[in-house]
Each structure stands twice: as C-alpha cells, then as structure tokens.
Chains A and B, each alone.
Chain A
Amino acid sequence: EAQVTQNPRYLITVTGKKLTVTCSQNMNHEYMSWYRQDPGLGLRQIYYSMNVEVTDKGDVPEGYKVSRKEKRNFPLILESPSPNQTSLYFCASLSTDTQYFGPGTRLTVL
C-alpha cells in the first residue's frame, strides 16, 4: 500500500530537549516536505526536499532542521524545541502534482 508514515504520532517534551520526527514514504517520490498546522493559519511549509541531499526552506523554517540522506526518509529535527513549536506536523511526498500526506504528529513542548 502506498503510504507516508510518521513517528511518533504523539509527543510531549520539554523546552530544549532535542527531538526527531521521522518520515518515510514507499512510493519512490523524489520530492518530500514538512508542514505544520496551527489554528487559523492552515498548513505552513517548513522545509522541502527535491531529491537526496537537496533541501530548501519553506515559509517557516526557523527552529527546524532536516536531512535527506536517502530517498524514502526525510526526518524533521528540532535541536532545541520551544513552546511556540507546539503544533500538528505533517510530512508529505509529491507525485507529479499531488502531495500525499502522512497521518500527522502532534507535538507539545512544555
């Protein structure tokens, strides 16, 4: 089954404790992206990657890092999380013109 998976689905952490949210797709897509969803703001793009070793900033990259060492994986790294990064995070991969989204990771930073 074609899918995008994210782990963990839920995470509560404390300010400053480094964390990684993993994302994996099994569709051999070159393009992958991370978004955050906040009330009243919709989805905002954090980072995207056009291919292995190629990443670029989206609209809200501050406080986040990504890496793309292999085509199927695109982890999102928060080196020093802060409470304003409490949000719902979605990973997506793109086929031609359609994005496929993962189920989401709800992150709470205390």
Chain B
Amino acid sequence: DQQVKQNSPSLSVQEGRISILNCDYTNSMFDYFLWYKKYPAEGPTFLISISSIKDKNEDGRFTVFLNKSAKHLSLHIVPSQPGDSAVYFCAASEYNFNKFYFGSGTKLNVKP
C-alpha cells in the first residue's frame, strides 16, 4: 500500500494563475517532505522541501504547505508559467533519510 499518495493524475491551469498540487501521506514517522519536477526523458529534479517542524516553506514562485494533523502537503506555484508544465512528484522520508517514498505524480499543464 502506497504511503504517499497524489490523487490527482493531472491538472490544467491558465498561465499566470495559481497551481495547487496536493499530496497525502499515511506514515506519521515521516519527517521530511520534498517535491520534484520531471520533464519527459529526464530524471526528476529537486524543487523544494519542508521539514516536519515547519508548516510552510517558500522559494520564489514555489511554496510548500504542510498540515501534519491532516497528513497533507501541497505545492503552490504562483504565477504559473508554461515552462512549469511537467510531472510533479511528492516524496517523504523519515529523519534518517534512508528510505524515500514517492507519490504517483501529477501532470501539470500550464496553458499560455
């Protein structure tokens, strides 16, 4: 059973608007959460992360929110740009960074 879930396989957003990608997890031992972006024919690239001691982390247009009580995190992209069109994976790890668990991905399409 997947411990990290992304229930939306795809999302379509107009350029300039906000993109919100969601992720749920089941393991309360997860201590660190990451978002990766993946273009076709390339490996995933790191986007942003958040530790369980925080509820928000911001980096430019990207903000990750963590709601530990709901075991839910989200990635906000504002404003969305066509170059943001990619598959986004959320991932989680316990404090020791031994194992990483990934969601199934959400394909974001930003329309010009």
* Residue positions of A touching B, CB distance < 8 A: 4, 31, 33, 35, 40-45, 48, 50, 56, 58-59, 90, 92, 94, 97-104
* Residue positions of B touching A, CB distance < 8 A: 2, 4, 6, 32, 34, 36, 41-46, 49, 89, 91, 97-105
Contacts of A42 in B (CB 8 A): 2, 4, 6, 89, 102-105
Contact call B43/A4, Cβ cutoff below 8 A: yes
Contact call A94/B97, Cβ cutoff below 8 A: yes
Secondary structure at the A interface, as helix, strand, loop or mixed, is strand
Closest 10 CB pairs of A and B: A101-B43, A43-B102, A42-B104, A42-B102, A98-B46, A101-B44, A103-B43, A42-B103, A102-B43, A90-B43
CA distance A101 to B42 in the complex (A): 9
